[in-house]
């Protein structure tokens, strides 16, 4: 697929716009196995930048990294009843190894609570061993039927944190702490405004007591669950016998949590910020933050321009920078190419700029003349830093305004069903599974989260009219 082929517009076909953009921007490609993906270097660099931003936050909150096996004995998954019921339709099972039928089938991990629970039962003996705060970076396999690059694939990459604590309160605090870490990352690194909230019992993680989520609105107004944090109570501790001697020398079961964010977040960035020209990448995570495009017609101009380009490249080496010195394509082609790949800032340098001691800056978040300015070469590093900061702020504010403009407060059940076809509804809900199922059946919208930030007071359930204590977001989702 040529990178210069025009993308479908988002308004015309958002789904096809997304699929083609992932391929054209060389973020990922389809693997030979249905539902799997190959993450290409440009996409992997974006994921590495996400990893680094999260890993730094995990370590600042006292977590350490480890690695656990990809293969899990089938019997492990059967120990926690709700967990196995939740995951059984998605399991990939290995029954033959080394040419022989295995005595016990092995599961390719869909998540690692079971194997980690088993290891914690060996490692945790006393309250002095707690808390255990471990994260792992890895891949998991879930046999999804309807797949889409980054958003939902059979195999995907993620981090999963697993912690064990002496008290319920400590575990609950950890669950919320990590939810806030995800929200902080989404807002301050990815410029994605997210809503932290509680999942309903029907939507929670299989085996959890409570599940929390950060929910984001995509450019077609659908919701995307972008990261989750689970309070597991003592469910897995009982299933895997994670016990410790407490301060009174009495045997207690540990309290555990798990939390994860995956390559699905790459999809969140694409769909939150992208436009009809292609990707718009947040400066802090973009694989290339600044691209320099030299412009010249002959050898004399080329020599003068490239001399300035090299000097500025050295000055800007604190940024992730690329000089596009391809001679086989026109400057116009290069502009379109880097716009499609979402590079936050483009610097153009031609003979006139050399004479004037200036450069042209083009912001990706403000296409056309609105994003173009001419600045002196002197002090360019400071100017670039300030501009990247402005781009992040503007991207966040635009995404937030879009979400607010497409979030409604319907006054009746019929209005709710209308609203969720093209936006989100924030409504009072009695928290019954029956009302939740009724909305889903009638509109395909689900409860996304009960936001932690509640308006206070009480209302009437938008579905049945019974008293309600909390508001919930209803939306159609990926």
Burial class (CB in 10 A: 0-12, 13-18, 19+), 378: exposed
Co-location of 267 and 130 in the same domain: yes
pLDDT at 2: 52
The answer to whether position 281 is within a domain reads no
Co-location of 117 and 207 in the same domain: yes
Arithmetic mean of pLDDT, 446-453: 98
Arithmetic mean of pLDDT, 396-407: 98
Using a pLDDT cut of 90, give the percent of the chain over it.
94
Rounded to two decimals, what is the model's pTM?
A: 0.95
Model confidence band, residue 447 (pLDDT cutoffs 50, 70, 90): very high
Pick the last residue of a domain from 273, 307, 338: 273
Determine the Cα–Cα distance for residues 17 and 132; give it in Å rounded to an integer: 44
> What is the number of structural domains in the chain?
3
The answer to whether position 282 is within a domain reads no
**pLDDT tens-digit profile of 281-299?**
999 999 999 999 999 999 9
Determine the Cα–Cα distance for residues 400 and 371; give it in Å rounded to an integer: 20
Structure tokens at 54: 């999260």
pLDDT at 1: 46
Choose among 172, 209, 215: nearest CA to 197. 215
The answer to whether position 398 is within a domain reads no
Residue 191 contacts residue 208 (beta carbons within 8 Å): no
Co-location of 117 and 265 in the same domain: yes
**pLDDT tens-digit profile of 106-115?**
999 999 999 9
Co-location of 97 and 198 in the same domain: yes
Residue 256 contacts residue 262 (beta carbons within 8 Å): no
Co-location of 248 and 294 in the same domain: no
| DSSP-H helix ranges across 290-412 | 299-315, 331-340, 351-356, 380-405
Co-location of 203 and 80 in the same domain: yes
The answer to whether position 6 is within a domain reads no
The answer to whether position 48 is within a domain reads yes
Residue 385 contacts residue 399 (beta carbons within 8 Å): no
Arithmetic mean of pLDDT, 401-417: 98
Co-location of 28 and 147 in the same domain: yes
Co-location of 87 and 233 in the same domain: yes
Residue 129 contacts residue 120 (beta carbons within 8 Å): no
Q: Write the CATH number for 448.
A: 3.30.110.30
Co-location of 23 and 154 in the same domain: yes
Q: From the centroid of its chain, how far is CA 10? A: 20
pLDDT at 71: 97
> What is the rounded (10 degree) CA torsion for 344, 350, 355, 361?
-10
Structure tokens at 337: 């190419």
Phi-psi region of 357 (alpha: psi -120 to 50; beta: other; left: phi over 0): left
Range of the domain at 64: 14-273
Co-location of 309 and 453 in the same domain: no
**pLDDT tens-digit profile of 90-144?**
899 999 999 999 999 999 999 999 999 999 999 999 999 999 999 999 999 999 8
Q: Write the CATH number for 34.
A: 3.30.930.10
Residue with token string 């995990």: 58
Model confidence band, residue 4 (pLDDT cutoffs 50, 70, 90): low
């Amino acid at each position: 697929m040529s990178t210069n082929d025009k993308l479908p517009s988002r308004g015309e076909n958002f789904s096809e716009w997304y699929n083609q953009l992932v391929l054209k921007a060389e973020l990922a490609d389809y693997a030979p196995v249905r539902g799997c993906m190959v993450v290409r270097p440009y996409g992997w660099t974006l994921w590495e930048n996400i990893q680094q931003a999260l890993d730094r936050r995990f370590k600042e909150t006292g977590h350490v990294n480890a690695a656990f096996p990809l293969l899990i004995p089938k019997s492990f998954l059967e120990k926690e009843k709700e967990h196995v019921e939740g995951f059984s339709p998605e399991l990939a099972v290995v029954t033959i190894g080394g040419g022989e039928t295995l005595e016990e089938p092995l599961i390719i991990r869909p998540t690692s609570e079971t194997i980690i629970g088993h290891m914690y039962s060996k490692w945790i003996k006393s309250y002095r061993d707690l808390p255990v705060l471990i994260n792992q970076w890895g891949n998991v396999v879930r046999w999804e039927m309807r797949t889409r690059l980054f958003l939902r694939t059979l195999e995907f990459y993620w981090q999963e944190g697993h912690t064990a604590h002496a008290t319920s309160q400590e575990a609950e605090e950890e669950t919320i702490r990590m939810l806030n870490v995800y929200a902080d990352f989404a807002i301050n690194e990815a410029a994605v405004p997210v809503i932290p909230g509680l999942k309903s019992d029907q939507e929670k993680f299989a085996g959890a007591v409570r599940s929390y989520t950060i929910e984001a609105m995509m450019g077609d107004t659908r919701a995307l669950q972008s990261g989750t944090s689970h309070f597991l109570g003592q469910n897995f501790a009982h299933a895997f016998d994670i016990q410790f001697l407490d301060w009174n020398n009495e045997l207690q079961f540990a309290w555990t949590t798990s939390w994860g964010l995956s390559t699905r977040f790459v999809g969140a960035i694409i769909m939150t910020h992208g436009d009809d020209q292609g990707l718009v990448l947040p400066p802090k995570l973009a694989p290339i933050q600044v691209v320099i495009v030299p412009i010249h017609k002959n050898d004399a101009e080329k020599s003068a321009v490239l001399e300035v380009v090299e000097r500025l490249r050295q000055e800007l080496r604190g940024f992730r920078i690329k000089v596009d010195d391809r001679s086989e394509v026109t400057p116009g082609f290069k502009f379109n190419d880097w716009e499609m790949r979402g590079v936050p800032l483009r610097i153009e340098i031609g003979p006139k700029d050399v004479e004037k001691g200036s450069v042209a800056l083009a912001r990706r978040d403000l296409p056309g003349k609105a994003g173009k300015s001419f600045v002196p070469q002197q002090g360019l590093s400071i100017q670039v830093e300030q501009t990247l900061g402005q781009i992040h702020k503007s991207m966040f504010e635009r995404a937030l305004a879009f979400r607010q403009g497409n979030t409604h407060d319907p006054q009746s059940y019929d209005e709710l069903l209308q609203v969720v076809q093209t936006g989100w509804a924030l409504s009072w809900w009695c928290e019954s599974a029956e009302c939740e199922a009724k909305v889903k059946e009638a509109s395909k919208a689900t409860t996304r989260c009960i936001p932690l930030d509640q308006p206070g007071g009480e209302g009437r359930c938008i579905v049945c009219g019974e008293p309600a204590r909390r508001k919930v977001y209803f939306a159609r989702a990926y």
